[in-house]
A and B are shown apart, each in its own frame.
Chain A
Amino acid sequence: MASRAAISADGPLGPGGPSYDEAVTQPGDSFVVARGLSVGYDGSPALTGVDFEISQGVRIGLLGPNGGGKTTLFRALTGELKPMEGQLDVRVSSATVPQTDRTRLDYPVTCLDVATMGALARLPWWRRPGKKDRAMALESLSMVGLAGRARDSFGDLSGGQRQRVLIARALTSDSELLLLDEPYTGLDSASADLLDGLIESLADQGRTVMIATHDVDQARAWDLVLCLNRTQIAFGPPESTLDRDVLEATYGGSIVEIPGQPGQGVLPPHHHDHGGH
């Protein structure tokens, strides 16, 4: 879930030169720098040509079809996948917030137990979370607005609340880069609004939040978008990035026009329906 990674296809002394290139960015300036990055599985690349730089306290929408490389990028950012080409410097600790359907509802844990699990990322394997960690977990729960449910069973919560408990778990790990995997899937609009507010406040506190989503309109409200379709299509502020060409390249040409807003594409409705129900 969380890790610190500074990895490169070529080692520090390898043919590609140093993996940590201080000339490109000052330490503390950028959280993540990807340069010509390719990652994949079993020697075949699943995502190529990734090139971006992300600083502190921004919200990045990660757009792309299923199989477009969103999850692959997350796994590279956490250090689970090594670069096949190019380099990737992740200079802060990162934590993935999975979709809630990956977790078990019949499992004997409270919300506080789940939030406390985040502390394991900071502790050596023989150390168990202590009072301090539970206090921090409670703080994380209050940051996501669920301190009042700390003693309740995780499985008793609604989907939106469970998503926020998983975010609290990532906060307990003290990660500055949060990777949210389709967090809006299956949420009603009230829960989605709560999540919007939470993501904004996390960014205001200096955390960088990367959100994989299918909802292009939602991504327009964030600071940056990264469009992937097995290769990087575009990266930049949404207003100057999300034009018709980019969306067509990202989603493979299945774009319909919004009447009266030429140049701005939206996806046909069935693209919004990747529900995890």
Chain B
Amino acid sequence: MPDFLLDPLASGTTVRALSEITVLGIVSGAIGCWIVLYQLSYSAESLAHGLFPGLVIAALVGAPLLLGGAVGVLIAATLIVIATRLADESADTAIAVVITALFGTGVLLALSPSSPAGIKELLFGDLLGVTYADVMIAAGFGAAVLAALWVLHDRLLAVGFDKGSEQSLGVSVMTLNLILLALVAVTILVAVQSLGNLLVAAILVGPAAAARQVTRRIGPMMAVSVAVAVASGVVGIYASYHLRTAAGASVVVAMVGFYLLAALAGTLQHRLFPARQ
């Protein structure tokens, strides 16, 4: 292998970062397909921002970030439900108000002069700072999310196709949607530490949106989505090593590149092979 590929592997930091982003890529690439098909991209981003104060408070008091984030998600979800009930506004306006308020509170805490250094990393993530324990935790939660997605696969596919198919599933549409959102929340919690609050939505939505452009069945869509997520991670981390750019942001930039390629390929595909009627 050429040196520019081998050199970074000599550093444990890069190897841990590559392991972490591979785990996150596989899980996010898979669940991202459901986020895109269920049009939950906005909800996913809202969840990520809404749990921010939870993360910051956990960091300030020295509690596990996972715990802080989980409490943050629950509070955000409760506030969203209350806001949509109380306000006459449409649901997305209520969500926007709640989420920006929560996010603002989190930023206020995080950026105050008395906050310890390192807390700002919750915003942009610290991919190069992950430990092997972090990777193992991500792999454990990731495996659980993937297992749930595997079991529910056909029912998720059926409900996304026809919301009226409730009677045929043995699971109510409501329950299925809540399970999916809970799985998204778990994925965000695991990914937010290394990718940061601002960038975590990218890995959940970007690869799946790219895959959607070039595939026409759910199986290939998931495969392409996972491949794009992992490839963006690897390309981004190598780029950050060689160009000395921020790791998380480099991953996201690589992802945007893949998305543009896929959009181009999708357009060409449509032009060359128009759908049969």
A residues in contact (CB < 8 Å) with B: 1-3, 78-80, 95-96, 98, 102-104, 107-110, 113-114, 116-118, 120-121, 123-126, 128-129, 152-153, 155-156, 158, 173
Contact = CB atoms under 8 A, between A and B. Distances in A.
Interface string B215-241: 111100100000000000000000000
B170 A1 contact: no
Nearest to B176: A125
Interface in B217-267: 217-218, 221
Q: Classify the secondary structure of A's interface with B.
A: loop
B167 A78 contact: yes
A128 B277 contact: no
A2 B166 CA distance: 8
B35 to A, nearest CB: 14
Contact of B276 (A80, A121, A123, A156): A156
B221 A108 contact: yes
Contacts of B277: 156, 158
A244 to B, nearest CB: 36
Contact of B154 (A128, A153, A173): A128
Contact of B151 (A113, A117, A128, A129): A128
Contacts, number: 86
B262 to A, nearest CB: 14
Interface stretch (B12-20, B109-117, B157-165): B157-165
A98 B161 CA distance: 12
B217 A109 contact: yes
Contacts of A114: 161
B37 interface: yes
Contacts of A80: 166-167
Contacts of A95: 168
A121 B167 contact: yes
B168 A1 contact: yes
A2 B165 CA distance: 8
Contacts of A109: 157, 161, 217-218
Nearest to B161: A107
A3 B275 contact: no
Nearest to B153: A128
A242 B276 CA distance: 42
17 contacts: A79-B167, A80-B167, A107-B37, A108-B37, A108-B212, A108-B215, A108-B216, A109-B218, A117-B158, A117-B161, A117-B168, A120-B155, A125-B155, A125-B169, A129-B154, A156-B275, A156-B276
Interface string B159-193: 01111111111110000000000000000000000
Contacts of B215: 108
B161 A96 contact: no
The 6 closest A-B pairs by CB, nearest first: A1-B168, A121-B168, A125-B170, A117-B158, A3-B167, A1-B165
Contacts of B275: 153, 155-156
Contacts of B170: 120, 123-125
Contacts of A128: 151, 153-154
B217 A110 contact: yes
Contact of A104 (B151, B161, B171): B161
Contacts of A104: 160-162
Contacts of A118: 168
Given A1-B162, A103-B161, A113-B218, 12 more contacts: A1-B166, A1-B167, A3-B167, A79-B167, A102-B163, A107-B161, A108-B212, A109-B218, A120-B158, A121-B169, A156-B276, A156-B277
A2 B168 contact: yes
Contacts of B158: 117, 120
A129 B276 CA distance: 28
Nearest to B219: A108
Contacts of B157: 109, 113, 117
